A and B are shown apart, each in its own frame.
Chain A
């Protein structure tokens, strides 16, 4: 377990801007800054196209070649190397961080596993690469990881297509926590799953966060999930942060009209609140027209 210095946050994003290389004037992510502390979950919320996934990918240095990080720094703090700016690292040093210190769970469990390798092998890969585990030691570690995420250890020799969606997402989680990373980035890890499975996965992530004192960057568009898992919330709209704060601040007393609109369109389980489409009337471009879509 790494003791993180209280005064330095685990991850600090400073003025991140992302643009397409061919159109450098179009800001896909515009001046985004927030911090993540060890043992805390920061949720990034927003509709599709708001830049939340791009922000997460930029932390890992996984942006596609057509995009470029225009400005800003990603300061990552670990006890071995002190504070490093991830945007300045070369590919080799990044490779040592990815999977070892920062891990990621992708959105679709159906497509993010390799179909021709057993799940046990895929979980073990990062253990061999980063920690040099082999043979029996590796097997025991894989078994204990599978157990931790609630999959029978005998399934280590199964291929991804033999597992259900929820199980595959558990395998993804086991892969990502294998090296006990300091930071876990989860990009809509439960969007493709059933409610019951979703509840299990959220509970599991929350336990792991406490157990391993992991910082977590959690991307979602569902405020229900935010309420269950977040410590801090960042709301993004069209590439910019419109509001951020602790969960109670943002959910209990939303200040920005977009946050209010987004909260209002989440259906409630009692059916007391009337269904409301999202309201963009607050946008400056809609101010002169009073028309609101019904």
Chain B
């Protein structure tokens, strides 16, 4: 068992939703209800659940992209929910995110070179020549070419755009990467390529992944541990092998039963 690198304790996050006639009333929705997770260094923790179960909220709250109501997020000896401004920005160098929709998460007016180097620029890492070098090396590592730096995102396919998103996150050499459904917008034929790329990069750069997905087939291949969320609560967590073989909670059993094409793929 390796050391936990990112620990979240008792996270609570509520949203208010307007309801009733003309939206005069309000209802509280608990997106995170006392959620505690811990990510081991160098491993992949998958968060699964249906839409609306709070898995994306969890990712955003861990990275402090959204404020928490209560709870603590411990990373490198600091409680991220307590720090802000410059201190938070410094920590974010080690915490990066790969977004779900490769068509919406890249600025259409920036060249790929600018998109990938922006993080280096913000954190002031190295001279511009060094930054250039790092960007080129990273692009090559994810399977793109130096010439692609001058292109715009619309010139790429979905799989290639997701590679750009991965390069942008990893060029800073982070410690923890949150992947929010990185392959759910991609074709089955492309999914495996991206998953293998993520796996290889994890080994090379000693990354820890928090991997959000609703596709349990994908999770089975990439994750070490798994957290099952339902209506803002963690209903089950443990190692992938245990949970796939002996799901305890009814909701987990339903999720596993809903995997399409079980009969044939098993054959």
Contacts and interface: CB of A to CB of B under 8 A. Distances in A.
A74 to B, nearest CB: 27
Interface in B211-267: 214-218, 220-221, 240, 244, 254-267
Nearest to B215: A195
B88 interface: no
Interface in B192-213: 192-193, 195-196, 199
B31 to A, nearest CB: 15
A223 B261 contact: yes
Contacts of B126: none
Given A194-B51, A269-B266, A294 B196 contact: yes
B191 A267 contact: yes
Contact of B188 (A196, A198, A266, A269): A266
A195 B51 contact: no
B220 A271 contact: yes
B217 A269 contact: yes
B217 A224 contact: yes
A262 B221 contact: no
Interface residues of A, number: 36
Contact of B265 (A197, A266, A275, A277): A266
Nearest to A273: B265
A151 interface: no
Given A195-B260, A224-B259, A262-B188, A268 B196 contact: no
Contacts of B196: 275, 277, 294
A222 B264 contact: no
B223 to A, nearest CB: 9
Interface stretch (A17-25, A87-95, A170-178, A225-233): A225-233
A228 B192 CA distance: 21
A278 interface: yes
Contact of B189 (A47, A194, A196, A252): A47
Given A221-B188, A227-B264, A269 B51 contact: no
Contacts of B71: none
Given A196-B254, A224-B265, A269 B244 contact: yes
Interface string B47-59: 0001110000000
B221 A278 contact: no
B50 A196 contact: yes
B209 to A, nearest CB: 15
Contacts of B199: 275
Contact of B263 (A195, A227, A275, A277): A227
Interface residues of B, number: 39
A269 B265 contact: yes
A165 to B, nearest CB: 7
Contact of A195 (B190, B191, B192, B259): B259
A262 B261 contact: no
B121 to A, nearest CB: 31
A48 interface: yes
B3 interface: no
Contacts of B191: 265, 267
A131 interface: no
Interface in A253-281: 261-262, 265-271, 275-278
B265 A227 contact: yes
A252 to B, nearest CB: 8
A196 B192 contact: no
A275 B260 contact: no
Given A195-B214, A228-B260, A271 B240 contact: yes
Contact of A269 (B143, B220, B267): B220
Nearest to A200: B258
B158 interface: yes
B237 to A, nearest CB: 18
Nearest to A276: B192
B155 interface: no
A199 B261 CA distance: 10
The 4 closest A-B pairs by CB, nearest first: A224-B261, A227-B261, A224-B260, A227-B264
Given A222-B261, A224-B259, A271-B220, 20 more contacts: A47-B187, A48-B187, A194-B50, A195-B255, A196-B50, A198-B258, A221-B188, A224-B262, A227-B262, A227-B265, A228-B261, A251-B264, A261-B189, A265-B189, A265-B192, A266-B217, A266-B265, A267-B191, A269-B217, A269-B244
7 contacts: A47-B190, A197-B51, A199-B260, A221-B189, A223-B188, A224-B265, A276-B192
